[in-house]
Structure 1
Amino acid sequence: MTSIPMRGGIRGTARIGVLGGGIAGLTTAVALRNAGLDCVVFEQAPRVETAGLGLQITPNASRLLASLGVGDAVDAVATRPLSIDVHRWDGGRRLARTPLGDACVESFGAPYYTMHRADLQQSLLRSLPTGTVRLGHRCVAVRCAPETVTAVFADGSEVAFDVLVGADGISSVARRAIADDLRRFSGQIAYRGLVPAGTFPEWEAEPRVRGWFGPSQHCVCYPVASDRFISFTAMTPDATASAPEDRTARPAASAGPARDEATSTASLARAAAAAYEGWDPLVLRLFRSAPTLGLWRLHDRDPLPRWSTSRLTLIGDAAHPMLPFRAQGANQAIEDAVVLSACLRQADDQPMALRRYEELRLPRTTRIQLSSRESAEVFHLGDGDRQLERDRDMPERWALRNNEWLFGYRAESAALS
């Protein structure tokens, strides 16, 4: 593989390139390396980010991380919650409990984790050779040809590849080479923050994913960073929303806080508390206790009929950005990475490998994308007959066995079939 310069207009070539150094891109690099395939990852940020909040890693992905050799590193910094508990919005009455912990391992052969996003990113990064990730490389265009694909960077450099993987998020530059579609605003915003775990001593002995469902909105929280913090997300309608499409938004807007940097945590906490007035006092304590708060506008995109050309393919949020209601965004990116690397390892013909990857992954991710949209309506039912029916059915619907299609899926086996 030819060395690719950090700066300047020198042209280089490489066999496989990956755009984006987030979870999707880094997992792809680890999976490709395990498959005996070299790659270079191009990340636009000038340094590896340690910011971020929590995420849930479900058994369909945690088993893959173990197979990639990062399972022990993840286990050392993650939490294995005992259950998912769903509560009524106003008084906190528990509506359903999904057992996790040992029950999850027994059912699906792998744990359910909650963890800080940066901890997963660092676990992946440490397993890669120095020089795999090239920082400060912002891709501004992708040009496709039958035998090569070229990434054009903001510094004027261009690099041609046999295969290029677009892992560059919901505002993907790589996606533009395949589809001229729009991001879709969900109408929801999310207040997100981290709270020191000691703020809730009553929870320390029983780590759980805790959620509250109510009219038009919900809140979820869980321990992260080796149980040192509680990460929470509180979703609520955006009263300022005017359109479902967002072509003009800055590329980073969907991945980071939508608020102005001058907006104080105190004012955001007041806004969140006002939106959740009358809710379980535990929810309001989360807002009051957060040293910092961020505000996100929640976007996804409609499923695509295809993700690939003969030399370019998409992965993670670049391929199938999802709303967070099923907590599957990172998990599906991990599945993508393992399947893609297996397809490339097995096939002599790279265009055929990309077609097979797409055929294996697209039906599953489309189902989860649409299910995530539908879950928003179910979570946010107003009080009334439909809500009462939902609550009556929840203990059965939230039984662990009903997650077999999601948690029990074995991406590595699908790629070998």
Structure 2
Amino acid sequence: MTLGNGHTNGYTNGHATPSSNESRPLRVIVIGAGIGGLTSAIYLRQQGHQVTLLEQSRFANEIGAAMHLAPNCNGLLRRIGLRAEDIGANAMEHITEYDEKNSVTRSASLAESNKQWQHPWHLVHRVHLHEELKRRAVDPVGEGPPAILKMASRVKSIDPASAVAVLESGECVQGDLIVGADGVHSITRKYVPGGDITTKSSGKSAFRFLVAREKVLANPATAHFAQKNGELIIWYGQDRRVIMYPCSKNQQLNFVCVHPHEESAASTQDKENWHAGANRQTLLDVYKNFDDSLLQLIGMADSETLNVWELLDMDVLPTWINNRLALLGDACHPFLPHQGQGAGVAIEDAAALAVVLRRGTTVEDVPERLKLYETFRYERANRIQEYSRVAGRDLGEEKLDMLEFTNYNFGHDEWDHSVQAFRKWDWARKPNLYWRMPVSFGPFPGPRQTFDGVARVATHSTFTTASVKFKTSRTLLQNLFPSVQFRFKNPGTVAYASFSQTTLNKMQWLGGGGYRHIGLYIHGVEFLKKNGETLNGTFLPILFESLTDPIVSGREELGMPKLYCTIDVYKRDQSYRIQTGWQGAQFGTIALEGLTEIDPSADKGTIGGEDDDGVFAYKYMPRVGRSERGNADVEHATFVPHAEESKVVPSRVEHVFKATSASINFDGLDWDALPTLHHVVSRLAEIPVYEVVGAKVVQGVGVPDVSSAVKIE
């Protein structure tokens, strides 16, 4: 397409300098090498960051027995390549509930319900998971730099503004941000606003221990409790309960025995004098009113794993972040165990943190990105925390909808959620992004911008434009005006128009390739505005193009009247032939003969329209709905001013070839041959060519992107 004062197509774009956000990897200090801390280290190393883990214990090892890996958590572990079944986890397959007299109150297979979740529900030995996470965090083999694990590194204080952690040894560890993953007794919590709140007793404690499954099966009084693989059993008393489920490939049975805190308070307070024998008796005393078979079962508690813990709760923190510090897991939302989601939600936190600290995040970005992390996670984590409180209430306090809890907990993928939330945040920062259908996938890259909204500049794109200007009928051409506001400046019955065909190449937005287009340009047109002012220009009623992408972007972003057709060009030494068609039906031929190169400086660089100020088009988008047929959602004229467009990308003409003769032939064929274009091409075929007044081929570099196009009124 030729503009009125230049040689190039103004309705496509070309080469652009790729955007870059060069930055070094972030130095991340993770305080605490538990489940959440290690998972965050893995996720962050995979984003290219250098992670240093500061663990206060000497062996950085988790204590405890078993834990749930619900579908929401398991999917995130699978994203980092960890399959729980490979480290001894077994599936959760059945749930049975008893009262304290050992009567079954509920029994259900989970085989069908588990099918609705994308990822499995596993039960895993906590230490096995912890060891595998630690291995993956520090293993030299893996994506990103391995994390550095510093054991026996108790943190004394931190500075959220400078991201410095000071150890009890006096060593200062410098980072770009600090992640406080140091659990329920967090040191880092006090460094966020409102973080001076302390944990409080929930009123309950829990014995935890393991029993070998074979030992249970060997006792006739307890064997029926261990018959099924993957069975979770809960015995409910009024104010206490026993939860049992298998782990380690169904070879170990994990117990969590929740009871009023005061009944084992001496055990929790006197850890120095703790020994399993004495506290096995405490355990049995706590559940003395339960059925004897259960007492025999819990009496098998493994002395090496038997322990009792006070179940701590904490009020909701007003914030998890402060400058370059963010809390994670129990440090910001300690969980009661009644939903089996404590570790899972910490793993969700780790995934969200990696999304907002994606590769390329700069040091300056960190405080804002940590605010995003909190925004993404705050409501969900606190909601599941409350579910856990509700699920742990004594019998009769409240009727629970456990299905609601399960659906909310399990039916979520934090990676996908955070990625989409991050996209929306990023798009919202760029209000001038081009959006086109389908909008579900975000803004569209195109001639005028990259996907990230960076402007393209087609300085290196090339164009070859063949134009034929001819004298024709004004009265016939004016029938193509879509509005009475368009009119010819000259009242005579003779008018001038051009068919112009352009081949574009080296278009960065098309991967270095190009496409072709051909259009009809009606010269000497003016547009009468409502205020009485007029604009002078060339009207473009139709523009055929050979590629979908520029057609769609030009129609929606610019309001250009684009349709598809094939455009073949045959260029020889002294001739240039253009053929147009649709699905094998050829409907147009334009030929330029006797081409001779002339000095580019001796030519104005255009055919016709020398007095025009720009190019007119008309945007029309129909309404949706049967009753709305014939009505427009959008309808208005557009204008591309030459003066403004020439500033976008200056075009440089390198060669001009003038023709001694030219011909234009269009055949509308019929509806069978051109089922979508017959009405258009037949009208083009009606346009008489009284006289060819000029024909030439122009070659050059630099393609404007028509970003100066504006709506008229």
TM range (shorter): 0.7 to 0.9
Structure 1 residue 286: Cα displacement: 3.0
Matched, 1:108 2:117: yes
Structure 1 equivalent of residue 327 of structure 2: 314
Q: 2:233 aligns with which of 210, 213, 221?
A: 210
SS where residue 229 of structure 2 aligns?
coil
Q: What residue is the counterpart of 2:514 in the other structure?
A: none
Q: How many angstroms does 1:275 deviate by?
A: 1.4
Q: Residue 158 of structure 2 aligns with which residue?
A: 142
Match among 110, 114, 131 for residue 122 of structure 1:
131
Name the structure 1 match of 2:296: 285
Post-superposition CA distance 1:8-54 (Å, at most 9, x none):
xxxxx971110001101100011112222221111111113264211
Deviation at 1:206, TM superposition (A): 2.9
The Cα RMSD (Å) is 2.3
TM-score (norm 2): 0.50
Does residue 227 of structure 1 match 2:250?
yes
C-alpha change, 1:361 and 1:288, in structure 2 (3 Å) is same
1:416 maps to a residue whose letter is V
* TM-score between both structures, scaled by the size of structure 1: 0.84
Find the partner of 1:152 among 157, 166, 181: 166
Question: What SS does the aligned partner of 2:412 have?
Answer: coil
Residue among 177, 187, 193 paired with 1:163: 177
* d(CA) in 1 for partners of 2:227, 2:60: 31
SS in 1 for 2:373: helix
Deviates more, 1:312-321 or 1:210-219: 210-219
Are 2:70 and 2:122, in contact at CA under 8 Å, matched by a contact in 1? Answer: yes
Distance 1:84 1:36 in 2: 42
Return the match for 1:78 from 89, 93, 108: 89
What is the aligned counterpart of 1:410 among 408, 413, 421?
Answer: 413
Contact 1:259 1:294 (8 Å CA) reproduced: no
Secondary structure of 1:39's aligned partner:
strand
Tell me: CA distance 1:269–1:67, structure 2 relative to 1, closer, same or farther (3 Å): same
| 1-structure distance, mates of 2:101, 2:390 | 23
CA contact (8 A) 2:34 2:60 kept: no
Which SS does the other structure have where 1:165 is aligned? strand
The structure-2 alpha-carbon separation of the partners of 1:79 and 1:282, relative to structure 1 and needing over 3 Å to count, comes to: farther
Shift of 1:269: 1.6
Q: Distance in 1 between matches of 2:235 and 2:86?
A: 27
CA contact (8 A) 2:87 2:129 kept: no
Please state how far the C-alpha of 1:402 moved relative to its aligned partner: 6.1
Q: How much does 1:241 deviate?
A: 9.3
Q: Indicate if the aligned counterparts of 2:387 and 2:405 stay in contact, CA closer than 8 A.
A: no
Pair 337,402 (structure 1): closer, same or farther in 2 beyond 3 Å: closer
- Residue in structure 1 matched with residue 390 of structure 2 by the alignment: 374
Q: Hey, what's the Cα distance between the residues in 1 that align with 2:47 and 2:174?
A: 22
Match of 1:67 in 2: 79
CA distance in 1, matches of 2:118, 2:260: 38
CA shift at 1:96, angstroms?
A: 4.9
Aligned AA (2:171): S
Q: For 2:31, give the aligned amino acid.
A: L
Report how far residue 331 of structure 1 moved.
0.5
Matched with 2:53 is: 41
Matched residue SS, 1:45: coil
Contact 2:160 2:178 in 1 (8 A): no
Following superposition, the deviation at residue 116 of structure 1 comes to 1.0
- Give the match's secondary structure for 1:87: strand
Following TM superposition, by how much is the alpha carbon of 1:290 offset from its aligned partner in structure 2, in angstroms?
1.1
Deviates further, 193-202 or 353-362: 193-202
Q: CA deviation at 1:213?
A: 1.5
- Kindly provide the amino acid, as one letter, of the partner of residue 260 in structure 1: K
Residue among 41, 44, 52 paired with 1:29: 41
Q: CA deviation at 1:189?
A: 1.2
**What are the within-5 Å matches in structure 2 for residues 258-337 of structure 1?**
259-292=270-303, 293-337=306-350
Alpha-carbon displacement from aligned partner over 1:234-288 (angstroms, at most 9, x marks no partner):
111122799xxxxxxxxxxxxx965424332222121121111221334312321
Identity %: 29
Q: 2:311 is aligned with what amino acid?
A: L
CA contact (8 A) 1:92 1:212 kept: no
TM-superposed deviation, 1:398: 4.7
Distance 2:99 2:406 in 1: 22
How many Å separate the matches in 2 of 1:359 and 1:153?
Answer: 30
- 1:85-100 residue pairs with structure 2 within 5 A? 85-97=96-108, 99-100=109-110
Taking the aligned partners of 2:173 and 2:121, their CA distance within structure 1 comes to 39
Which amino acid letter does the alignment assign opposite residue 110 of structure 2?
Answer: L
CA distance in 1 between partners of 2:130 and 2:292 (Å): 34
Determine helix, strand or coil for the equivalent of 2:67. Answer: strand
Contact 2:30 2:178 (8 Å CA) reproduced: yes
1:180 is aligned to 2:183: no
Alignment partners' CA distance in 1, 2:112 and 2:55: 37
CA distance 1:235–1:259, shift in 2 (3 Å): farther
* In structure 1, distance between residues paired with 2:60 and 2:85: 18
What displacement does 1:207 show?
2.4
- Once the two structures are superposed, the pairs formed by residues 357-396 of structure 1 within 5 Å of their partners are 357-377=373-393, 380-381=394-395, 386=396, 390=399
1:74 Cα offset (Å) = 4.5
SS at 1:298 equivalent: strand
> Offset of 1:119 from its aligned partner?
0.5
Q: Quick check: 295-304 or 18-27, which moved more?
A: 295-304
1:153-173 Cα offsets, whole Å, 9 max, x none, are 011101121110000001111
Gaps of 5+ in 2: 1-24, 140-146, 218-223, 421-713
Counterparts in 2 of 1:25 and 1:102: CA distance versus 1, 3 Å: farther
CA deviations over 1:377-396 (Å, ceiling 9, x no partner) = 2xx22xxxx48x95xxx8xx
**Amino acid in the other structure paired with 1:120:** L
Partner of 1:5: none
Q: What CA deviation, in whole Å up to 9, does each residue of 1:201-245 have, x standing for no partner? A: 241443211111111111101111222211101111122799xxx
SS in 2 for 1:345: coil
* Higher RCO (C-alpha 8 Å, min separation 6): 1
* Aligned amino acid, residue 27 of structure 2: R
Match of 2:369 in 1: 353
Q: Please tell me whether the aligned partners of residues 86 and 96 of structure 1 are also in contact (alpha carbons under 8 angstroms).
A: yes
Change (3 A) 1:276 1:184: same
Q: Which moved more, 1:204-213 or 1:315-324?
A: 204-213
> Residue 296 of structure 1: SS of its match in structure 2?
strand
Q: Separation in 1 of the partners of 2:49 and 2:110?
A: 35
Unaligned runs of 5+ residues in structure 1 are 1-12, 243-255
Partner Cα separation in structure 2 for residue 125 and residue 265 of structure 1: 29
Deviation at 1:140, TM superposition (A): 1.3
**2-side partners of 1:197 and 1:240: how far apart?**
28
- Of residues 199, 202, 205 in structure 2, which corresponds to 1:189? 205
Report the structure, 1 or 2, having the larger strand content.
2
Q: Give the Cα–Cα distance (whole angstroms) in 2 for the partners of residues 14 and 363 of structure 1.
A: 27
Matched residue SS, 2:321: coil
Residues 288 and 362 (structure 1), Cα distance of their counterparts in 2 relative to 1, 3 Å cut: same
Question: 1:159-194 deviations in whole A, cap 9, x for unaligned?
Answer: 121110000001111101111111111111111111
